[in-house]
Structure 1
């Protein structure tokens, strides 16, 4: 019976050692998990700060680009804009007439005397 009693005491001590080791390992895991969470939070904060910095730099670059563009190509005068607008309106008005002429479906779109000049110019260039 004493041998069973001694064996019971030994097993009980071994059980306490195992429980103690388990508690130690659980504490180490808890500490490691906390460190990982802290590292992740730090990384998130660094990424957020870098994102904000990059966004700020991008805005600064865009502002500098816009500033340089206005220096290189200043806004044209209102008279120039008016001339440009009228020019493109005229081009759009004459496109259908010239298109038909170029496709060979209609005569030269401007007056007859201009047609002769244009034909002479084309013939002279062909001869050269």
Structure 2
């Protein structure tokens, strides 16, 4: 069985990451700083609000509808030469609900002209 000193020596010989890990701040200081960072992120975090049209747990339709609404909004306001910033709300909602792989697939389908929704 290796002694604590031999483990420490082996870790120190591996490089700066191991040195940083062994010479880190006390755990209480680390966790208190981590809690502050998380609290700051939570303050600015916005996710999709409740939508009475989609009361069930499965939010697939809600995701798809907000994706389509975002693109419809962008298309309509761009055609009128207006600012598209009101459409950002739909984008924020679909980005918080939809898996990235779905969005990438739908973006590709829009480019190919094979998207199943009407935009």
TM class, shorter-length: under 0.3
Bigger relative contact order, structure 1 or 2, given CA contacts below 8 A and separation 6+?
2
- TM-score, structure 2 length as denominator? 0.26
- TM-score, structure 1 length as denominator? 0.25
Which of the pair is proportionally richer in helix? Answer: 1
Give the structure with higher Rg (CA).
Answer: 1
